[in-house]
Amino acid sequence: MNALRFLSQACVVLVLVLVSQLQTASARDITCDFYDIANVPDAWQVSMAPGFNNAQKRSLAHYYNKEKNASVMIQIEEAGVNTDLAATGEQLVASLQQSGCTILSGPEQDGALLRLEATMTGTPALVWVGTNGELTALTVISGNREECQNFLGLMRNADPLLLPQARQVRP
């Protein structure tokens, strides 16, 4: 009787282990030199994986959730001669305007980053720029801000001088 009870408990434990392994196998983790994103939901797709391109000295990543109309783009590159955040923000505004974007507000200080709102190809977006002296980062979110906030909440090991945290996404 004890042997039968032991075997049934062992089977239950084995099934639980197999199910948990299947669940972990379906979860995706994204790791790069600058941040990690744990347990990326299946609805989020990676159209451009992060990775440092030595020829261009930058990493460009794009993530999107088509179901929820949400998009997150992160570009990190080696800082040029000018690593002053205010000057970098001015360059960003000029570059966005030259590209046909409309600046709706900012740039304004948002923690260690500069934040601005812009319309890009008719879509409102939040844009952050940050620098730690060695690297400069640009983060753009558009579409469903709550979904973008949830996605940024999965990010780990990110330098707060470079990348926004989920709590910085405001409606």
Report pLDDT for 54: 63
Residue 150: pLDDT over 90:
yes
Q: At 58, is the secondary structure helix, strand, or coil?
A: strand
Residue 169: pLDDT over 80:
yes
pLDDT for 11-40, tens place per residue? 222 222 223 333 333 458 888 888 899 889
- pLDDT band at residue 171 using 50, 70 and 90 as cut-offs: low
Q: CA distances (Å), 75 to each of 10, 59, 120, in order? A: 49, 6, 16
- d(CA 96, CA 143) in angstroms, rounded, equals 18
pLDDT for 51-78, tens place per residue? 766 666 788 999 999 999 999 999 998 8
Domain boundaries defined on the chain: 28-168
Report pLDDT for 101: 92
Residue 83: pLDDT over 80:
no
pLDDT for 35-48, tens place per residue? 899 889 999 999 88
Phi, psi (degrees; rounded to nearest 5) at 104: -90, -35
pLDDT for 105-139, tens place per residue? 989 999 899 999 999 888 899 999 999 888 899 99
Q: CA distances (Å), 62 to each of 17, 33, 47, 111, 113, in order? A: 34, 16, 6, 24, 20
Any idea which residue has 């507000």 for tokens? 105
CATH code of 28-168, in short, is: 3.40.1000
Report pLDDT for 125: 94
Report pLDDT for 52: 67
